[in-house]
């Protein structure tokens, strides 16, 4: 395709056949007369524009808010900013129009044209976003295998995308329509209305295990060991020099964030990170962290699909402090829900996960606040002496809600930005310091267990296995503080 005459000719190479290793990108050279600032996409910085706007006094890695509070950039902000140049180069190499490129040298399966793209039962955002993306890419129709969840509803509304019809409704119009399975290939996860003889393709990122679909003839298969099925579709758009629409790019972006736990899950690959940066450019996202936070809030409305790891890490931010008495990073996670009792009842599951996350990230303290958005009530989970003493200093009028002093009632305090961090900041500036050293920690990182995707869970949630802090899903009868405090 001929480049626009107003732009410098450049070529961006994205390896189309590799499924492992880092993306291969030949970086183009932009001349001063056609600098990157003239292309229009630079302002989004692959979703990191807001992080750059609020850059702290050290010039990097922190964000300074209007009230002077500093917080460290989140993992996802660092990921997209590290890849903003590559994302810009890739998006600038794509055609501006959304239509199909007249000539495509790469293989595009004719069998998928006019097919129905449908995900698995107990459908999630990757199933729906991936189906929408695949239908736009190959010229088909997306359909729902089951009712959507609150996170998917958020993404559809956020990007102005019409909710797809159910598969049953589509099959009423044409019972023999071609079917392409997305985000699954096991018959146990397949909508029972599907006739296996009509399946013409599978696009997935899961392992081939029991009950994988069997066909009488060859079909199109695209399975890659990446963190999200939508990453595969996004990559295929690019290798075919196709530009997804803003709404389709936004849906696939949200799907990748969901399946990779904001790029922090154990299945995350470099391809997922790069596609998030590219899709942020195409969908014109300026604040990737804000999008991720809003999406997590929508997801948390349905608590059954969230593991302890997902709850602790879903909406967690880190703040940096330096005083005469204390220097270090404080993490603060928030879960907003209409039923806080359901979360608090999982205290014995959540406390060891908070400890593990605190240890892995090298934080001086890590809090988890559970906020009931109906009654406007906050409850703070405290996993050790540092959290206990800092919470007492920050909220001296608040009392404990259990004998172990691991739950503190925060009353009507419900905002991290307005209620929690200013109080924490004031307590640290007033001279708070960590409790006296207790000696070397008795737990190393390896003993905290391994994060894995539960293959038996319909939500494919991430769980921690083999942690020394837990026994049969419950907190071991020992002091978490003694395990962690140094």
**Which tens digit of pLDDT belongs to each residue from 329-355?**
999 999 888 788 989 999 998 999 999
Q: What is the mean pLDDT of residues 410-434?
A: 92
Provide the CB-side half-sphere exposure for 462 (13 A, CA): 22
* Span 288-326, pLDDT tens digits: 999 998 998 888 777 766 788 888 987 888 888 899 999
Which tops the pLDDT comparison, 467 or 428?
Answer: 428
The pTM of the whole model exceeds 0.75: no
Given pLDDT bands bounded at 50, 70 and 90, which one contains residue 195? very high
Which tops the pLDDT comparison, 150 or 484?
Answer: 150
**Separation of alpha carbons 117 and 133, rounded Å:** 9
Q: What is the mean pLDDT of residues 58-66?
A: 70
Q: What is the mean pLDDT of residues 406-414?
A: 94
Residue 282 clears pLDDT 70, i.e. is over it? yes
88-102, 242-256, 257-271, 404-418: range with highest mean pLDDT: 242-256
Residue 284 clears pLDDT 90, i.e. is over it? yes
Which tops the pLDDT comparison, 215 or 446?
Answer: 215
Specify the 3-state DSSP secondary structure of 203: strand
Residue 96 clears pLDDT 70, i.e. is over it? yes
**Separation of alpha carbons 50 and 44, rounded Å:** 8
Predicted pLDDT at 1:
37
Mean pLDDT (the chain, rounded) = 82
Given pLDDT bands bounded at 50, 70 and 90, which one contains residue 57? confident
The β-bridge relationship of strands 462-465 and 450-453 is: antiparallel
- Three-state secondary structure readout of 9-71: CCCCCCCCCCCCCCCCCCCCCCCHHHCHHHCCCHHHHHHCHHHHHCECCCCCCEEECCCCCEE
Give the DSSP letter string of 310-338. Answer: HHHHHTEEEEEEE-SS-EEEEEEEEEEES
Are 231 and 256 in contact by the 8 Å Cβ rule? The answer is yes
Residue 221 clears pLDDT 70, i.e. is over it? yes
Residue 35 clears pLDDT 80, i.e. is over it? no
**Separation of alpha carbons 173 and 155, rounded Å:** 27
Residue 26 clears pLDDT 50, i.e. is over it? no
Q: What is the mean pLDDT of residues 102-129?
A: 85
Provide the CB-side half-sphere exposure for 35 (13 A, CA): 3
Predicted pLDDT at 34:
30
Predicted pLDDT at 99:
56
* Span 230-246, pLDDT tens digits: 999 999 999 998 999 99
Predicted pLDDT at 449:
64
- Three-state secondary structure readout of 65-88: CCCCCEEECCHHHHHHHHCHHHHH
- Comparing 148-157, 159-168, 443-452, the range with the smallest average pLDDT is 443-452
- Comparing 95-99, 291-295, 441-445, the range with the smallest average pLDDT is 441-445
Which tops the pLDDT comparison, 352 or 106?
Answer: 352
- Comparing 52-61, 285-294, 382-391, the range with the smallest average pLDDT is 52-61
Residue 196 clears pLDDT 80, i.e. is over it? yes
Q: How far is CA 386 from the centre of its chain?
A: 29
Predicted pLDDT at 105:
58
Percent of the chain whose predicted confidence (pLDDT) is above 70? 78
- Comparing 26-30, 45-49, 230-234, the range with the smallest average pLDDT is 26-30
Q: Which structure tokens are listed for 448? A: 């905290």
> How many Cβ atoms from other residues are within 10 Å of residue 59's Cβ?
7
Predicted pLDDT at 188:
82
Q: Quick one: angle between helices 270-282 and 229-239, nearest 10?
A: 60
Given pLDDT bands bounded at 50, 70 and 90, which one contains residue 209? confident
* Span 117-131, pLDDT tens digits: 999 988 999 999 999
Predicted pLDDT at 14:
55
Q: What dihedral do alpha carbons 154, 158, 161, 162 form, nearest 10°?
A: 50
Given pLDDT bands bounded at 50, 70 and 90, which one contains residue 447? low
């Amino acid at each position: 395709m001929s480049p626009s005459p107003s732009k410098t000719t450049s070529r961006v190479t994205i390896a189309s056949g590799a499924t492992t290793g880092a993306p291969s990108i030949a970086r183009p050279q932009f001349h001063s007369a056609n600098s990157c600032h003239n292309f229009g996409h630079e302002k989004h910085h692959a979703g990191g524009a807001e992080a750059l706007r609020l850059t702290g006094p050290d010039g990097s890695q922190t964000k300074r808010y209007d009230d002077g509070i500093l917080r460290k950039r989140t993992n996802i902000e660092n990921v997209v900013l590290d890849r903003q140049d590559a994302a810009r180069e890739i998006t600038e190499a794509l055609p501006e129009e959304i239509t199909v490129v007249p000539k495509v040298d790469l293989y595009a399966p004719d069998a998928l044209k006019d097919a129905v793209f449908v995900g698995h039962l107990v459908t999630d955002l990757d199933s729906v976003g991936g189906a929408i993306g695949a239908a736009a890419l190959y010229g088909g129709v997306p359909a729902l295998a089951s009712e959507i969840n609150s996170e998917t509803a958020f993404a559809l509304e956020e990007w102005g995308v019409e909710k797809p019809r159910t598969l049953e409704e589509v099959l009423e119009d044409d019972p023999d329509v071609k079917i392409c399975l997305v985000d699954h290939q096991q018959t146990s996860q397949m909508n029972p209305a599907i006739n296996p003889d009509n399946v013409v393709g599978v696009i997935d990122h899961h392992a081939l295990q029991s009950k994988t679909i069997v066909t009488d003839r060859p079909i199109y298969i695209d399975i890659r060991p990446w963190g999200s099925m939508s990453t595969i579709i996004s990559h295929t758009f690019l290798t075919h020099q196709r530009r997804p629409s803003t709404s389709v790019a936004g849906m696939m972006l949200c799907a990748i964030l969901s399946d990779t736990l904001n790029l922090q899950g154990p299945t995350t690959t470099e391809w997922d990170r790069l596609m998030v940066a590219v899709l942020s450019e195409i969908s014109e996202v300026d604040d990737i962290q804000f999008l991720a936070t809003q999406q997590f809030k929508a997801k948390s409305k349905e608590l059954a699909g969230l593991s302890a790891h997902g709850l602790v890490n879903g909406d967690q931010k880190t703040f940096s402090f330096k005083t005469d008495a204390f220097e270090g990073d404080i993490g603060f996670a928030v879960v907003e829900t209409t039923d806080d009792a359901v979360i608090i009842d999982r205290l014995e599951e959540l406390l060891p996960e908070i400890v593990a996350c605190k240890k892995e990230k090298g934080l001086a303290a890590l809090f988890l606040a559970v906020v009931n958005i109906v009654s406007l009530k906050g409850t703070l989970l405290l996993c050790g002496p540092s959290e206990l003493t800092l919470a007492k200093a920050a909220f001296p009028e608040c009392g404990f809600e259990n004998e172990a002093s691991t739950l503190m009632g925060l009353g009507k305090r419900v905002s991290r930005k307005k209620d929690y961090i200013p109080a924490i900041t004031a307590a640290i500036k007033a001279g708070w310091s960590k409790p006296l050293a207790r000696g070397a920690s008795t737990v190393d990182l390896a003993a905290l267990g391994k994060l894995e995707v539960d293959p038996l869970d319909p939500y494919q949630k991430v769980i921690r296995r083999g942690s020394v802090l837990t026994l049969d899903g419950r907190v071991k009868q020992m002091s978490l503080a003694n395990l962690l405090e140094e």
